[in-house]
Structure 1
Amino acid sequence: MSGLSWGILGTGSIAQAFARAVAKSNSGTLSRVGSRASDTAQAFVEKLQADKNADVAAGAKDFAPSGDYEALLADPAVDAIYVATPHTSHAQWAIRAAQAGKHVLVEKPAALNHADTMAMVEAAREAGVFFMEAFMFRLAPQTRKLVEMIEGGEIGRVRTIEASFGFHAPFNASSRLFANELGGGGLMDVGLYPVSVARLVAGANDKQGFADPINVAGSARLGETGVDEWAAALLTFDNDVIAQLSTAVSAWLPNDVNIYGETGSLHIASPWHAAGVEGGSSAIELRRFGKDTQTIDVPQDKWLYEIEADHVAECVAKGLTESPLVSIADTLGNMRTLDQWRDSARFRFNAESNKKAWPTASRLPLAVSDAARMQTRTIEGVAKPVSALIMGCDNQTAMPHASVQFDDFYMQGGNCFDTAHLYGDGIMEKLLGVWMEDRGVRDDLVLICKGAHTPDCRPDAVRPQLEESLERLRTDRADIYFLHRDDTSVPIGEWVDLLNELKDEGKISVFGGSNWSKERMAEANAYAAANGKQGFGVLSNNFSLARMNNPIWPGVAACSDDDYRTWLEETGTALFSWSSQARGFFTDRAGPDIKTDHDLVYAFYSDDNFERRRRAYELAEKKNVHPMTVALAYVLTQKMPTCALVGPRTLAELRTSLAVFDLSLTPDEVAWLDLRG
C-alpha cells in the first residue's frame, strides 16, 4: 500500500482523533494542518508531537502548522485533505480541495443538506479525485460482521429496526450543538448514525450496499434556537423493512441498535464506536426463539480512525474515486433522508430560508466554468444567444436545492430558464427571482415565462398573470413569453393584439404558443402580417425521438409529425421542446413488459417507438454513450433552431444531459433513428 500524505483542515477534537490515527498508521503521513489562526495550528501540532503514544508522537514529527486554509490546499506535498471544519462549511472546503486536485475525506455529516452534498460530489467527479464521507463506524469490523450476518440470513428476512443515538448536553445557545447558524441539533450531530445503519441493514436484507426509504415520517422538538433537541422518525423501505429511529442532544437515549427478523434478532450495544477509538473487542448478540443468546465477539486490532485512514489510502492506491463501503450514492442517500426527516418535521435552518439565496457551494462568486461546453442557438428577436439546454423551473421547492441547481447550470454555460405562472403556485418563480437578484445575473439570462393555462386560458388572464410572474421573478420583462395553452374559441386576433401590446410596453420580447397546433400558429402569423404586427416566433410543444401517441396531460400537443416539422423548417420557427427525452422512455424504466409508469405507457408505448428505442440503444452502444444522450442529440440535431427543456432533479441528471455536447449525429443517423432510413 503506497503512503498518502494528509492535510488536516480544521483543528477540533474530531480532527485531533483522525490526525492521531494517521500518525499511528502505516498507510499515511501527516503533512500539514490548516487553521484560521497560526497559534491554533501550532498548538494542534505540538499536542500531537507530545502524545503519550510513541507511534503518534513519532508520526507527527514532521507535521507542519499553517494559519491559512488556502496555503494548505496549495501545498504540493499534500495528497489528501481531511475536512473537519463545522459542517456548515464542509461544502466550501471540500469543493476547494477537489479543485486543488486533492483527494477528499469530509467529516460527517457531509454537508448541511443534500443540495450542497451534490455540489461537493460533482466537484470531486469533475476533478477526478477520491471523495468519501468520514463515517468511521461503517468501516468497523463490527459493522462489516453485522452486514455479513444479515446477508447470510442469520435472523431470516429483516422486519423492523430500532436505532437511537442521543445524549443530554447542557444548553448553550452559542455552542455547535445548539447554534442554528452552525447547523446544530441532534439530527446533524448524531441522528445521521441511526439513519445510516437503518439504510445499511435494509440494503443488506437484499444483499445491496444500502437502501433508500420510500417514506420518511419525522417529528422533532425544536428548542429556543430553532434546532431539534430531540427527534424521532419512522422509515419505510420498499422491501417492507420499517425502521424506528430517535436522536437527541437534550435526552439520554439507549444508543444501541436492535434488528428484528423472521427467526431471531440482533442486538448491538455499542454500534457507533464499536470496540472503541483505540480498538479492542466488541460484540453482537444473536437471539433466536427457544435458544440461548449467542454472543459473537468481533476483534478490532486497529484504532477506529486508523481503519478509516487506511481504507482511504487503499482506495486511492487502487485508483478508485469512491469507497465501495461508503459510496457516493450512499452518502447522497443519507443526506436526502436527513432532509426528508427535517421536511417532515417542518424544520429548516434559518440560512435555508426561501426568502434569501443559498450561497454558492464553494462560497466563490458565480462564474461560467472554463470547461463549459454548452451550445447556443440564435433566436430572432432575442438579444443574446440562447443555451441549447433550458433549465425547467418546475421541481425546485427549497432555496438550497434551487440555488445549487441554478448555479451549476449557469456554470455549465446555461443561460435560459423556463418558468410558468402555474408551477408550484409560484414558488419556483419566487426562488428563481431571489437567486437572480442575489447573484446579479438577470442581464446574462434569457427568461421564459408562460401563462394562460387551462382553466384560465383567456386573454383577460394573461396580463395579470404575467405581471404577477414578473413581480415574483423580481424583473420587469420576460425575454420569451408563451401562451401555455390555446383556446380555439378565442379569435386569433385577440391573442396577437394582446401580446403585441405587452411587447410594446417592454414586458415581453419574443412570444409564441405552447401546445399550439400548426394551423393556429400559421393563422396567428397570417393575422400579424396582415396587420403590421409581430407574429408568433417561437413554439414550445412536445418533440422527441419517441413520438407522443396520446397527450400526457389534457391540452398538450406534439409537433413531431411530418407536416408540422416541415412548417417549422420552412418558417424557421424556433422550437423549445418539452419532454424531449420522452419521460425516461430511453432508460430501463421502459420496455414492452414494463408497465409500472402508466403515463409513460399511455403516451409513448407503440411498436414504432420501441423500434426507435432499439435503434437508439444500438447507436448508443456503438458510440459508447447512454441511449438518453442519443435521444437528446436527435432533438438538438434538427434543421429548425431547437432547444430542449430539461428538468434535472439532481446535478448528476444535468451531467447526463450535458453529455449530448460530446456527441454528434450525421443526417443519415438522424433519419435512421426516426425510421426514415
Structure 2
Amino acid sequence: MSQTLTWGILGAGRIAGIFAQGLASSKTGTLLAVGSRTQEAADRFGDKWNVSRRYGSYEDLLADSDVQAIYISTPHPMHAEWAIKATEAGKHVLCEKPIALNHADAMAIIESAQRNDVFLMEAFMYRGHPQIAKVVELIRGGAIGDVRVIQATFAFNAGNNLEGRLLNDKLGGGGILDVGCYCASIARLVAGAAIGKPFADPTRVTATGHIGEASHVDEYTVASLAFPGGIVAQLMTGVRVNAENEVRIYGSEGSITLPTPWNPGAGQTTKVIVKHNGEVTEHSFETQDLYGAEADTVAAHLAERQSPTMSWEDTLGNIRTLDQWRAALGLSYPSEQPQGPDQQLPVHKRALAVRPQHIMKYGSIAGVEKPVSRLVMGVDNQTSWPHASVMFDDFFEQGGNCFDSAYIYGGGLCEKMLGQWIKNRGLRDQVVILDKGAHTPHCNPQALTSQFLQSLDRLQTDYVDVYMMHRDNTDIPVGEFITVLNEHKNAGRMRAFGASNWSIERLQEANDWAAAHGLSGFSAMSNNFSLARMVDPVWAGCIAASDAKSRAWLEQTQMPIMPWSSQARGFFTGRAHPDDHSDAELVRCWYSEDNFKRLERVNQMAQERGVLPINIALAYVLNQPFPTFPLIGPRLLSETRTSLPALTVELTPEELRWLNLED
C-alpha cells in the first residue's frame, strides 16, 4: 500500500509551482513546506500555493523533521548538492530532471541515497502517463513487428535572454539537458521494450548541432543513436527552435505515433496511434495531473527505495547518453572544468573529510611516513574532471589515501587529473601517491629521469611517496637503475621506490647490490597477485607473483606488494563462465580449469559468509602473511562500494590454502 507523505519543495521557481499545483491532486501527498534562498521568495511562494511553513534557506527546510519527502526544483547545477544533502537529512527525494549535470554527479546522488537508505527518483513525469505503459505493451506485443527506427522531438524557442536558465552555460543551459533528456529517455525505453528489457543503452551516439556564440550552450541539435538489435534513433532538441514535439516509432510492419508525448495537461485526452499493415487503431487516454501522479509513485515505492518508472540504473544510463550527446558537440560547462567555480569542494559542497564510520585499514611502507590505505585506487581510467573528482572524493571519504597512476596512463591525462584533484582539495600531506614510469621501450635510466620529471609536473608536486619502475630491462645492470633511483630519493623527489613487473630474482639482485654499495633498495613491488592464476599476461612484459615460490619469498622478506589486477579483472564478479567467451581478454588471461575450481570455492564461501564473491577473492590478497596493498580499478562508485567489504573478511591460513586449491 502507498504511504502518505508530507512534502517540502526545495526551490521556488516556475517548476516548483507546477509541482505544488499537481500535489494538490495527489492521493498520498500533502505540501507542508517550501525552502528558498530568501525569505521573501519563500513567502511569495507560500502565499500563492497556501504553504504553511516557509523557510528562507534550503538548510532550514531540510532541518524540518515533519517533512518526509523533498522535491528538488533548483537549476540543474544545484541538483547534486541538494539531493545529496536531502538524502543525508533522511528525506525521500524526487529530483527534477536531469538529476545532475553529468553521469559522475548522478552516481554521487544515488550512492548517497543508498547509503542513507531513502527513496530517490528522477522526475520524468511523462513516464507515469498511461499512454507510455500502452506503448511499451504494444512494442512488446509485436504490434508493429520489429522496431527499426525511433524519432523523438522536444524543442521550443526560449527567446534571447542570455541571463535566463535556458541560455546560460553557468546554469547548465541548452536543449540537451532541459528537454533532450526526454527524447533520450523514451528512445531508451522503447529500444529496451523491443529487446525484452526495461530499457536499453545506446552502443553509439553521434550528433551535430549549433552552440551559440554568445550563450555557449547547445541551442539546437540532432543526435543519432544505435541500439542493440539493429534499432536506430533520431533525436532532435533545442531551446531556440520551434518543432512538432512528438514521438514516432517505425517497425517492420507498421508505426506508432504519440502526438502529445511529454506533458499533456490534466483532463486532456491523448492518443496513441498505431498503423499496422494499412489499418489504423487509436488508443485514447484522459490525463490526470502528471505531477500529482508522480508524487503518488514515490509513495507507492518507498519500500523499494526506487521506482520502476525511472529506476536508478535507468537514470544512470540516460545521463550517460546525454554526456555522450554533449561530448559529440564538444560541449561542457564551466563547473565541469578543474579550474571552474567551486572546484575546491566535492559535489556536496562541503570540505572533504574522511567519514568517521569508515572500515579502511592501513599499513606501512619503509620510507613513507604516512599510513598507507590497504586498498589503493588505480588512476588509469579517469580522464574527465567530473568522473575523476567524484571517484577520488568518494574513495578518500571512505578512508582511502593511496592512489596509483603512471606516466603512460591516458597519455598523461590521468596524472594530470590526480594532481589537479590533490591541489584543488589541498590534500598533498594526506595522500600517498604511487606513480610509475620507465615503461618499455623507454626503460633506461635516462628515460626514467625524463619521464619522472614530467610526471612530477603533471602531478603538480615536488615529490611522490612511492615511485615504481613500470617494467624491467634486463640488458641494463641493476646498479644503474638503483643509482639513478637513489639520486632522486636523495634529492627528495621520491620517499621510496619499488619495481613493477620485475622477477623475484632480479629484484633480489638489485637489493643485494644496493646493500653492498650502501644505497637504498626497493621498498615495495607491484607485480600481479590474485587468487586467480594469470594464464596469459594481461600486457606484454607483465609478471605475476601469485605462485608458491614468490609467495614464500614475499613471506620471508616481508616485502610489501602492491598488486595490480588483484581482483583478476572481474573474473570473480559473475562475468566468467566456462561457456561464456564474450569477453576475449577475460578468456585469454584468466580462463582455465583450475581458476574455475577456485571460482566455485569462492562462490561457496561467499554464500556462507553473506558477502559478494569479489570480497572473498580480494580478501585472499589482503590476508596473506606479508604486507599487501591491492590495487583496485573501479570505474563506478558502485564498484568501489562493493569492493570495500573485503576489508572485513578474515581468512585463516587453512582457508587461504583451500581457496587456492592447496588442500
- What is the Cα deviation at residue 220 of structure 1? 2.3
Q: Distance in 1 between matches of 2:475 and 2:273?
A: 74
Aligned 8 A contact 1:540 1:578 in 2: yes
* Aligned residue number for residue 644 of structure 1: 630
Residue 431 of structure 1: how far off its partner (Å): 1.1
Please name the residue that 1:620 is paired with: 606
Give the conservation status (yes or no) of the 8 Å contact 1:209–1:325.
no
Contact 1:392 1:646 in 2 (8 A): yes
Output the amino acid matched with 1:308: E
Corresponding residue number in structure 2 for 1:573: 559
1:205 and 2:176 matched: no
Query: 1:333 aligns to what?
Result: 317
Q: Which of the numbers 93, 99, 110 marks the counterpart of 1:104? A: 93
**3-state SS of 1:82 partner:** strand
User: What residue identity is the alignment partner of 1:202?
Assistant: A
Equivalent positions of 1:488-637 (< 5 A) are 488-637=474-623
CA distance in 1 between counterparts of 2:210 and 2:357 reads: 46
Tell me which residue corresponds to 2:269.
281
Shift of 1:643: 0.9
Aligned pair partner of 2:220 in 230, 240, 248: 230
Structure 2 unmatched runs, 5+? none
The aligned residue for residue 147 of structure 2 is: 158
Output the amino acid matched with 2:265.
V
Q: 2:454 aligns with which of 460, 468, 480?
A: 468
Q: By how many angstroms is 1:207 displaced?
A: 2.5
Range moving further from structure 2, 593-602 or 412-421? 593-602
How far, CA to CA, are the matches of 2:222 and 2:447 in structure 1? 46
Aligned residue for 1:31? 32
Aligned-pair distance for 1:213? 0.8
- What is the CA distance between 1:91 and its match in structure 2? 0.5
Note the C-alpha offset of 1:169: 1.9
Alignment partners' CA distance in 2, 1:138 and 1:330: 12
Gaps of 5+ in 1: 50-59
Amino acid at match of 1:174: E
What is the aligned residue count?
659
Decide which moves more: 187-196 or 339-348. 339-348
* TM-score (norm: length of structure 1): 0.96
CA contact (8 A) 1:279 1:304 kept: no
Q: Where does residue 282 of structure 2 map in the other structure?
A: 295
| Distance in 2 of aligned mates of 1:354 and 1:222 | 22
Separation (CA, whole Å) in 2 of partners of 1:16 and 1:290: 44
User: Quick one: which of 160, 169, 177 aligns to 2:166?
Assistant: 177
TM-score, length-scaled by structure 2: 0.98
Q: What is the SS of the residue equivalent to 1:177?
A: helix
Deviation at 1:574, TM superposition (A): 0.4
1:43-97 Cα offsets, whole Å, 9 max, x none, are 1111113xxxxxxxxxx5xx32111111110101000111111111000100000
Identify the residue that residue 55 of structure 1 maps to in structure 2.
none
In the alignment, does 2:53 pair up with 1:44?
Answer: no
CA deviations 1:227-275 (Å, max 9, x no partner) are: 00011111111222111111011111221111011211100001101xx
1:296-342 deviation line (CA, Å, top 9, x unaligned):
11233x211111011111112xx121112210000011101100111
d(CA) in 1 for partners of 2:227 and 2:25?
A: 40
Aligned equivalents of 1:111, 1:608: Cα separation in 2: 45
Q: Which moved more, 1:351-360 or 1:612-621?
A: 351-360
C-alpha separation in 1, matches of 2:362 and 2:144: 58
Contact 2:154–2:182 (CA<8 Å) still a contact in 1?
yes
Task: Render the CA deviation track for 1:376-435: whole Å, top value 9, x for unaligned.
Answer: 112222111111111111101111111111110100000001110111111111111111
Cα distance in 2 for residues equivalent to 1:2 and 1:271: 29
Distance 1:344 1:290 in 2: 38
Please tell me whether the aligned partners of residues 107 and 637 of structure 2 are also in contact (alpha carbons under 8 angstroms): yes
| Contact 1:573–1:641 (8 Å) recurs in 2 | yes
Which of 426, 438, 441 is the matching residue for 1:452?
438
Partner of 1:324: 308
Please state how far the C-alpha of 1:219 moved relative to its aligned partner: 2.0
Contact 1:420 1:449 (8 Å CA) reproduced: yes
CA distance in 2, matches of 1:530, 1:238: 62
Q: Deviations over 1:205-228 (max 9, x none)?
A: 123111111111122210022100
CA contact (8 A) 2:126 2:262 kept: yes
For residue 409 of structure 2, the aligned residue among 402, 423, 447 is 423
Query: What letter matches 1:298 in structure 2?
Result: F
2:227 aligned with 1:264, yes or no?
Answer: no
Equivalence map 1:291-370=2 (5 Å): 291=279, 293-300=280-287, 302-316=288-302, 319-356=303-340, 357=343, 359-370=345-356
In structure 2, give the amino acid aligned to 1:155: I
Letter of the aligned partner of 1:20 in structure 2?
A: Q
Distance 1:205 1:154 in 2: 11
After superposition, what is the alpha-carbon deviation per residue over 1:332-371, rounded to whole angstroms, capped at 9, x for unaligned?
A: 1110110011112211112212445474111111111112
Give the Cα–Cα distance (whole angstroms) in 2 for the partners of residues 380 and 570 of structure 1.
16
What SS does the corresponding residue of 1:588 show, helix, strand or coil? helix
Q: Deviation per CA, 1:459-488, whole angstroms, max 9, x where unpaired?
A: 110111111111111100010010000000
Amino acid at match of 1:406: F
CA contact (8 A) 1:90 1:110 kept: yes
**What corresponds to 1:9 in structure 2?**
10
Aligned partner of 2:243 in structure 1 is 253
Q: Is the 8 A contact 1:211 1:237 kept in 2?
A: yes
Partner of 1:674: 660
Q: How does 1:116-195 map to 2 (within 5 A)?
A: 116-195=105-184
Q: Quote the offset at 1:286 in angstroms.
A: 0.3
2:143 and 2:276 in contact (8 A); partners too: no
Overall identity of the aligned pairs, in % = 50
Segment of structure 1 superposing worse, 353-362 or 491-500: 353-362
Decide which moves more: 220-229 or 659-668.
659-668
Q: What code does the residue aligned with 1:19 have?
A: A
Q: Which residue of 2 aligns with 1:94?
A: 83
Contact 2:622 2:647 in 1 (8 A): no
- What are the Cα deviations for residues 166-218 of structure 1, in whole angstroms up to 9, with x where unaligned? 11121111110100100000001100000000000011112311111111112
Post-superposition offset of 1:143: 0.8
Q: Shift in Å at residue 277 of structure 1?
A: 3.1
Aligned AA (2:5): L
**Are 2:364 and 1:375 equivalent residues in the alignment?**
no
Distance in 2, Cα, partners of 1:217 & 1:484: 37
Q: Which runs of 4+ in 1 moved over 6 A?
A: none
Q: Report the CA distance between 1:440 and its aligned residue.
A: 0.3
Corresponding letter in the other structure for 2:34: V
1:527 partner SS = helix
Find the counterpart in structure 2 of residue 221 from structure 1. 210
**Counterpart-to-counterpart distance in 1, 2:338 and 2:118:** 33
- Does the 8 Å contact 2:345/2:425 carry over to 1? no
Partner of 1:57: none
How far does residue 664 in structure 1 lie from its aligned partner after superposition?
2.1
Shift of 1:119: 0.6
Return the letter of the residue paired with 1:184.
G
Query: Deviation string for 1:481-502 (max 9, x for gaps)?
Result: 1000000010010011111111
- Whether contact under 8 Å (1:352, 1:358) holds in the other structure is no
Q: Distance in 2 between matches of 1:277 and 1:404?
A: 39
